[in-house]
Amino acid sequence: MAQNITQIPAPRVPLIDERTGQISREWFRFLNNQYQLTGGGTTSTSLADLEVAPGLAANTEDEIAVLKTQIDDIFKQPRSPEPTPINYGSFYSTQTQTAAAINTAYPITYNNTSYRYGIYVDSVNTSHIKVTKPAIYNVQFSIQLDKNSGGTGNFWIWPAINGTPVPDSASQIQIQGNNAEIFSAANFFLPLSNGDYFELYFAVSAIDVELAYFPEVAPVPAIPSIILTVMQVYI
């Protein structure tokens, strides 16, 4: 029975013997044993065969592929987070809105939507503007006022959240004379939670003061009685 006497030399053994200038005895024995163990020059194994790596099992190849993918992922730039959509909405009314009694609060309604995402007009209470995300919202409105008889009248407007007027939020406009149209606009910030709604209320000191809609007269497009825009400004 053949005995493996390869006896690989220790790392400290030099390849060349300093005394003789020739290969050291240990390295000679190692290389000679390698020669004998590989057939003493009679083996059919070629150098090309010796350079071929041993075959890999299928599962080993799969593991290497997974490992390579993991290493590649380490050097990839982290993916940027998807931007959070911002809620917004634009609504208006093509109806003239009047008060049946003076000094009485009436909600302003909307019958058209221009654009919206996460903000909408309630289908039943069309004065309710609802939001789907807790945030601070910038609310802007423009109104077209008219008075259809002489004298002077006052118009008040203010926001309310879930039916409760927002403190210190009202505006007053005085309008005088028959067909004395006035345009006015304002904006404010409202903190709203998911499911909350807000409204704009108005009141008048004379019932002939109204939020007026004017149809298109070329070249001028129609004039809504109110235009409302709402945009989320803080998450």
Residues whose CB is less than 8 angstroms from the CB of residue 112 and which lie 6 or more positions away in sequence, other chains included: 91, 92, 93, 94, 224
**What domains, with CATH codes, occur in the chain?**
1-43 (no CATH), 88-234 (2.60.120.40)
Using one digit for the tens of pLDDT, what is the confidence trace for 70-85? 777 766 666 677 777 8
The percent helix, strand, coil of the chain (3-state, each to 5) is 15, 40, 45
pLDDT value at position 5?
57
Q: What is the pTM of this model?
A: 0.65
At 63, which amino acid appears?
Answer: E
Confidence band of 27 (pLDDT split at 50, 70, 90): confident
For residues 111 and 226, what is the distance between their CA atoms, to the nearest angstrom?
10
